[in-house]
Amino acid sequence: MKTGDTVVYLDGSFVPQREAAVSPLDRGFMFADGVYEVIRSYRGSLFEEAAHIERLHRSLREIRIDKGAANGLEEIFPELLDRSGLAGSEALIYVQITRGAAPRTHQFPAVKAAPTVYAHAVPFDPPLEQRDRGIPVILVPDTRWSRCDIKSISLLPNILARQMAEDAGAGEAVFVRDGVVTEGATSTFCAVLSGTVVTHPESNVVLPGITKRIVFDLCSRTGIPVAERPFREEELPRAAEMMLLSTTREIMPVISVDGMDVGGGTPGSLTRKLQAAFSAVIRSV
Ligand code: PDD
């Protein structure tokens, strides 16, 4: 199927992508005044859909868009998959809600605009080889704002960081804020320190990851110690293993940081154990 032939959802209708039109005055276009979610479909089943919708509601609340804008998405998503020819396949759903189109003012529009609700589904080719071998990452200064808990479409620092990783031949950029490791540009970052899986606690400087919640539950169930505490860049050299967690990467082993090998440059046993446990969860959805 050519890109333009794919069907997308926009403001109440399913339309061919090439016919989907958003106003240039849309505040998403003008200001990145909106929020989004990425949801994985395994063979047509949306993974952790309720958690993604809940996080979307939270993001909307935090930027003061009525959460009613997200009404009906649970019915829209399966239809979107179906109309995209992806009802039984591996796919990703992207959904974005902006404050809508209105004359350009920084403050909210004087006359309330209808939020723009957009979604599309794309086939997804899981990064199996990378998940098997692991990927290198680089550390970059966390130049983002102080509300990274909101899944905002304003992603310029993340884009620049990911490109820096790309330029360095790495698979992800990991942010460091005032010496503290926060998260990946598009993922949650975990280090295994003294046998404990450690990640930054949920706060204004990280996105509350849904994959992280699943993985930490798996750790608890399999007796792997976990800690959500800030940890510093200086602690990384003594990490036995490192992982990135996200909807698209699931559990991605990190095998080097800024060119320095992690765990001898191969994924560690704890990472492997968690990958196996995660795969079992996926098989059962
Ligand atoms: N990114 N942190 C950031 C900054 C992210 O962008 C993401 C996900 C995560 C992991 O969240 P989750 O496990 O809920 O996917 C953490 C998505 C996949 C994206 O932007 O494409």
* Domain end residue (candidates: 123, 155, 170): 123
Ligand 1: residue whose CA is nearest its atom 16: 187
Q: Could you read off the pLDDT of 199-244 as tens digits, one per residue?
A: 999 999 999 999 999 999 999 999 999 999 999 999 999 999 999 9
pTM of the model: 0.97
The pLDDT assigned to 1 comes to 53
Please check whether residues 12 and 102 belong to one and the same domain. Answer: yes
Question: Counting beta carbons within 10 angstroms of the beta carbon of residue 125, is it exposed (0 to 12), middle (13 to 18) or buried (19 or more)?
Answer: exposed
CATH number at residue 145: 3.20.10.10
Residues 199 and 186 in one domain: yes
Residue 1 belongs to a domain: no
Instruction: State the distance from the centre of ligand 1 to the C-alpha of 111, rounded, in angstroms.
Output: 33
Among residues 123, 154, 189, the one where a domain terminates is 123
Give yes or no: residues 202 and 279 share one domain. yes
Residues 69 and 155 in one domain: no
Check if 273 is active-site.
no
- Looking from the CA of residue 206, the nearest atom of ligand 1 is 2
Within a domain: 199: yes
CB of 243 closer than 8 Å to CB of 252:
yes
Q: What is the pLDDT of residues 129-174, one digit of tens each?
A: 999 999 999 999 999 999 999 999 999 999 999 999 999 999 999 9
Domain that holds residue 189: 128-283
Average pLDDT over residues 31-60: 98
Q: Are 107 and 189 within one domain? A: no
Structural domain contains residue 2? no
**pLDDT band (50, 70, 90) for residue 5:** confident
226 CA to middle of ligand 1, Å?
Answer: 20
DSSP string, 222-251: TT--EEE---BGGGGGG-SEEEEEETTTEE
pLDDT at 113 over 70: yes
The answer, yes or no, to whether residue 2 has pLDDT greater than 90, is: no
- 108 close to 143: Cβ distance less than 8 angstroms: no
**Of 2, 112, 151, 212, catalytic:** 151
Tell me how many domains the chain contains: 2
**Average pLDDT value for residue range 93-104:** 98
Together in a domain, 224 and 141? yes
